[in-house]
Structure 1
Amino acid sequence: MPGKPTENPAEKHRRLILAAVRAVPRGQVAGYGEIARRAGLPGRARLVARILSEGDEPGLPWHRVLRSDGRVAFPPGSEGFDEQVQRLRAEGVRVEGGRVRGQSAAATLDEMLWAPPPR
């Protein structure tokens, strides 16, 4: 009895990353590393960036994914930069100087365990 065709690892990683990007709610952002962690691929932030750079997934909210420091990854003044900032602002996200303000990526487990207590 033939079974379901097996998914190769690259296809699986792509599927998991795209699902994690789609799960970022409107008006919120996540870093490339956070997307990788949510996809079950910790340490694969560059893979997230590569998959998003392909730009072949209609309706994908790619604009909600930023660098870990909250900055837009495109060079300032580029078409991609301007489009990402415009899309984020349309969702009510505060962007100043190419950096999202008032939001941060979710903490890693290490940050939660080892960070100094809040004051």
Structure 2
Amino acid sequence: MRRELLRGRHLGRGRPGHLPDRPEQRPRRSRPAQPAHGRDPKLSARDRVIAVVRLIPSGRTSSYGAVGRACDPPLSGLVVGRVLQRADIEDVPWWRVMARDGSYPIHRIDPQLELEQRERLAAEGVDPNDPLARRFDLETLID
């Protein structure tokens, strides 16, 4: 049995004699043309989210779902929230992203972060009590 394993005769799904496809035998997939303005599906979800969040101008806000829809391929708002929660990059304007109803879900993680988000938005000219008034339409970025 051990010799068969070493010879590769017992690889795969437990069926004797089943050999996995070799990479050189698999047909190559053609990739579609890359979309405009630098959206690249080969980038990680983290890189795509950070690139879209950086596009939100100062003094404007957007929702987690809108950021996810602007990524290519699209991501859910939950993924966007997780990426921003774990991003340790100083130049990412995370405070410009909030829930679609204008609430601050970041308070579930730390109430101090909600206060910081409100202060940063106020410094950019956004009314923290009515952030929807300054919503930035990321849909204009999608082809």
Query: Normalised by the size of structure 2, how large is the TM-score?
Result: 0.60
**What letter matches 1:27 in structure 2?**
G
**Alignment CA distance shift 1:36-1:63 (3 Å):** same
Tell me, in whole angstroms, the C-alpha distance in 2 between the residues paired with 1:107 and 1:21.
Answer: 10
Cα shift readout 1:2-49 (whole Å, capped 9, x = no counterpart)? xxxxxxx89521111100000000000000000001112435110000
Tell me, in whole angstroms, the C-alpha distance in 1 between the residues paired with 2:107 and 2:78.
Answer: 17
Contact 2:62 2:138 (8 Å CA) reproduced: no
| Structure 1: 5+ residue stretches without partners | 1-8, 109-119
**1:6 aligned partner:** none
Whose Rg is larger? 2
Residue 51 of structure 2 is aligned to residue 22 of structure 1: no
Tell me, in whole angstroms, the C-alpha distance in 1 between the residues paired with 2:86 and 2:116.
Answer: 16
Superposition CA RMSD, Å: 2.4
Tell me, in whole angstroms, the C-alpha distance in 2 between the residues paired with 1:104 and 1:29.
Answer: 5
Query: Normalised by the size of structure 1, how large is the TM-score?
Result: 0.71
Instruction: Detail structure 1 runs of 4+ shifted over 2 Å in the superposition.
Output: 40-43, 74-77, 103-108
**1:46 aligned partner:** 78
Residue 137 of structure 2 is aligned to residue 106 of structure 1: yes
Instruction: Please report how far the alpha carbon of residue 58 of structure 1 lies from its aligned counterpart in structure 2 after TM superposition.
Output: 1.7
Number of positions where the alignment pairs a residue of Structure 1 with one of Structure 2: 98
Residue 99 of structure 2 is aligned to residue 67 of structure 1: yes
